[in-house]
Amino acid sequence: MTIAVKLVAPRQRHLKWRALDGLELALMVLCGVLLFSFCTTVTFDIITRTIGTPWLWLQEVTSTLFIYAIFFGAAVATRRNDHLYLTAIAEALDGKARLVVEIVIRLVVLGVAISFIYFGYLNFLRGFSSFRMPSMTPIATLYAAIPICGVLVALFTIEQIVNGLKNGFDHKESEAGPINAADPAGLRE
Amino acid sequence: MNSGLVLGLMSFLFLFFGYLGVPVPFALMAGVLVGASFTQVSHIAIIQKMFDGMDVEALLAIPFFLLVGELMSSANVVIRVVNLSLALVGHVRGGLSQVVTVFSMFFSEMSGSTTADVAVISRALGRPMKNEGYSPAFIAAIIASASTIAALVPPSITAVVYGAIGNVSIAGLFMAGVVPGLMIGFGLMIFCYFFGPTGIQRPRAPFREVAGALKDASLPLMIPVILLGGILTGWFTPTEAGVVAVVYILFVVIPALNRGHIRLLAYDFCLAGLIFSLPLITIGAANAFGWLFAYLRGAIVIADWITGLAGNDPHLIMLLMVALFTVIGDFIEPVPTIIIFMPLVNALTEAGNINPVHMGVVLIATLAFGLITPPYGLVLLMASKFVGVRFSQALRAACPIYAVFLITIAFTIYFPSVVLWLPKHVLPASVGCFPNPSGPGYICPP
């Protein structure tokens, strides 16, 4: 199995459109690239500081990569059902009760995602009046990650609602569930 | 709507949505966004506070420490540390349960993550313990209990979050966590010796075997040396120490011990890139929640209530905080708990004239305990799932082990001189000591 295939979570297949698998894969790869990139910039930050010629802009690049990695990771985790959970009452239910709870859960997530889009966009616009040092880039370039994350989360949540209504939420293969999600190694398929 | 009602509403919505099955960061944000609708605070400010919670330089340490754990586990290098633990304590009464504890003491110093710890130990030692006849409930209980050590000893991610949000020395918290971490580790070993299942009695490993296992595990065991050495000598910040450890694993450990794994590194990075975003987005959401909680004077109300009961007695304040955090920790994870209640913690630390590092380590030990208590003991839940036993059975097996944690927490509260001895001697500035203006050494607060 190639790495690309392994990176698309096989869990909850019945809640996913195949058309969005490419987006999940792209976001997973992006998470890896961003993590690798800020590992590299921090390494160079240490090296340049140690040899007495610090590159100050490295810290700015690092924080940009870090912030985007968090929001892209949070977005793709929504599709993969990998977020941290307090519990999953829904999994203990079946029939109509489960359908209602699953829909309510996703409507709450969708509501928050829409807030990310709308208020995040307004915050992004406000960010053009503040600047990052030393490059003097508007801080809006960082704030842009919030509405982008909102759009992706909303898209993945709508995907789950539509497919859940069509196929039902309670499929046997979806048992991997929340506890594994909180476990780093357990994310491996 | 008055502040109390808004606080009640946002807390209720968070817990209701959270227990319904909404992911934690979204449940927190739903609570805080609805709560803000009844105040003067704009929703844009709430989104900004969420962002501010993540845009903290010290939090960069989290992806690095998680990546260290991920690389060590996926490259299967940890098996060498398991073999060393077996050679060291496999012959002691309790057998593999002693090995679990010693292995966790080693691995915790590499990963700093309780969830990574429980996954790795369950995978490495869960089945062998079953094969030797240990009851699955006890296996889950001992693995979960041992995994909590990662919350205390360096490079604890919980300590990183506490230090970054509370403006407390992270290196100081690392050092102060060593004594309670070792107390839990040795406490579990004593518990297994006297009260745990006997296990299979192995002969004591000959010195040559121990030396061989030590040699095999020497490269992975250098990771805590790099992390601690770099921080203590002042060469690196905790964040930089994390990235140096990553570089060491990538360029030394994996090529030397599992060269075949190099082609899978891209996969490890992608997975770790996802994994680290999960606590970080939760930190952002908890920061927004905690900010509104403080804005509505929730922290002041609870602080007044606690100081009303405890006055300025530091021990009583800490005991009440432990009681509060034990209850809260039973329902919420450590990271959001720390962030939401940090304004309260700061107020009480000042009221009781308590060393912030001391308060930090007491609360982190309490939250580590909350990881194995009902109804939401995350680590015990995970261990039960990995081992394949019902949570209620694992809980019953874990109950006697709680004594180890309660003794450790009480010791940590009442013997600050022992807990702070290490940071005072290796990083005096981290616990408020300052250089003696009239001679060598440092002057430390009592």
Percent of chain B with pLDDT over 70: 100
In B, which residues are within 8 Å of A86 by CB distance? 15, 18-19, 24, 27, 331-333, 376
pLDDT digits 0-9 by tens, B192-219: 999 988 888 789 999 999 999 999 999 9
- CB B70, CB B271: distance < 8 Å: yes
Amino acid in position B322 = V
In A, which residues are within 8 Å of B226 by CB distance? none
Q: Please give the ipTM for the structure prediction.
A: 0.90
Q: Compare CB distances from A73 to B18, B276, B332 and report the shortest one's residue.
A: B276
- Whether chain B has a CB inside 8 Å of the CB on A111: the answer is yes
pLDDT digits 0-9 by tens, A132-169: 888 889 999 999 999 999 999 999 999 999 999 998 88
Q: Write the DSSP assignment of B164-183 as a string of letters.
A: HHHT--HHHHHHHTHHHHHH
pLDDT for residue A182 is more than 70: no
CB contact under 8 A, B273 and A28: yes
Q: Confidence class of residue A82 from pLDDT cuts 50, 70 and 90?
A: confident
CB contact under 8 A, B23 and A185: no
Half-sphere exposure (CA, 13 Å, Cβ side) for A128? 4
CB contact under 8 A, B47 and A180: no
pLDDT digits 0-9 by tens, A49-66: 889 888 889 999 999 999
**How far A113 CA lies from chain B's nearest CA (Å)?**
8
What is the distance between the alpha carbons of residues A45 and B386, in angstroms, rounded to a whole number?
Answer: 40
- Of chain B residues 262-281, which have a CB less than 8 A from chain A? 264, 266-267, 269-281
CB contact under 8 A, B274 and A116: no
Burial of B313 (0-12, 13-18, 19+ CB in 10 A): middle
What is the distance between the alpha carbons of residues B24 and B162, in angstroms, rounded to a whole number?
Answer: 19
Q: Compare CB distances from B277 to A69, A108, A186 and report the shortest one's residue.
A: A69
**How far A21 CA lies from chain B's nearest CA (Å)?**
15
Q: Give the Å distances, CA to CA, from A147 to A69, A107, A150, A153, A154.
A: 14, 18, 5, 10, 10
Q: Compare CB distances from A105 to B22, B247, B332 and report the shortest one's residue.
A: B22
DSSP state of B439: S
In A, which residues are within 8 Å of B62 by CB distance? none
Q: Give the Å distances, CA to CA, from B436 to B417, B427, B431, B439.
A: 20, 15, 15, 6
DSSP E strands in B29-139: the ranges are none
pLDDT for residue B17 is more than 80: yes
In A, which residues are within 8 Å of B247 by CB distance? 39, 43
- Whether chain A has a CB inside 8 Å of the CB on B128: the answer is no
Residue of A nearest to B269 (CA): A32
CA-atom Rg of chain B in angstroms: 22
pLDDT for residue A177 is more than 80: no
What is the distance between the alpha carbons of residues B31 and B12, in angstroms, rounded to a whole number?
Answer: 8
pLDDT digits 0-9 by tens, A112-135: 999 999 999 999 999 999 998 888
Q: Which of A3, A46, A50, A86 would you mutate first to test chain B, the one with the most B CBs within 10 A? A: A86
Q: Give Cβ neighbours of residue B83 (< 8 Å, ≥ 6 apart).
A: B213, B216, B217
pTM attached to this predicted model: 0.86
pLDDT for residue A185 is more than 70: no
Cα dihedral value A15, A20, A23, A24, nearest 10: 20
**How far B246 CA lies from chain A's nearest CA (Å)?**
8
Q: Which of B275, B387, B389, B390 would you mutate first to test chain A, the one with the most A CBs within 10 A? A: B275
- Whether chain B has a CB inside 8 Å of the CB on A54: the answer is no
- Whether chain A has a CB inside 8 Å of the CB on B43: the answer is yes
- Whether chain A has a CB inside 8 Å of the CB on B47: the answer is yes
The mean per-residue pLDDT over the stretch B364-378 comes to 87
pLDDT digits 0-9 by tens, B380-437: 988 888 888 888 899 999 999 999 999 999 999 999 999 999 998 888 888 778 777 7
pLDDT for residue A189 is more than 50: no
Residue B175 has φ and ψ, to the nearest 5°, of -65, -40
What is the distance between the alpha carbons of residues B132 and A137, in angstroms, rounded to a whole number?
Answer: 62
Q: Tell the residue number behind the tokens 């966790």, with chain if given.
A: B104
- Whether chain B has a CB inside 8 Å of the CB on A70: the answer is yes
CB contact under 8 A, B267 and A179: no
Residue of A nearest to B246 (CA): A39
